[in-house]
Amino acid sequence: MRDDAKKIKIIIVGAFFLFIVVYGFARSTDLIFGVKIKNVKIAGEPAETLVVRNESVTKISGNARNAINLSLNGREISIDLKGNFEETIALLPGYNIINIQATDKFGYVDEKNYQLILTQALGN
């Protein structure tokens, strides 16, 4: 009878420590996996490696999870508490590279590059 009580006590204590470990891992996943740039959209469409645009002014939006600093083509832009950003940029005729760089509080960096071609209609 005493052995059963000891086994139950060991199982309860073990389950408690397992819960603490799982909870700690769940709360620290942002710290473990660092900063991530994702869901980037150019002019409302998902960003691809090469996008052809007809408009010289376009909007870029996305999410930089866990970032404290975010820069777009070397210029720092603002993000909200959830890491969402939205910025308007002007494109030059021809080939354009958009660089997004995010840094977290530990100095880890995530960087994404997007290539756009601005085409102008003849006569403009």
Supply the range of the domain harboring residue 40. Answer: 35-118
My answer on whether 57 and 25 are in the same domain is no
Residues 83-109: pLDDT tens digits? 999 999 998 888 899 999 999 888 889
- pTM of the complete model: 0.72
CATH of the domain at 83: 2.60.40.10
Q: Is residue 107 part of a domain?
A: yes
Does the pLDDT of residue 123 top 60, yes or no?
no
Residues 2-52: pLDDT tens digits? 788 888 999 999 999 999 999 988 888 777 778 889 989 888 788 776 667
Q: Is residue 124 part of a domain?
A: no
My answer on whether 25 and 50 are in the same domain is no
Does the pLDDT of residue 78 top 90, yes or no?
yes
SS3 of 24-88: HHHHCHHHHHCCEEEEEEECCEECCCEEEECCCEEEEEEEEECCCEEEECCEEECCCCCCEEEEE
My answer on whether 14 and 63 are in the same domain is no
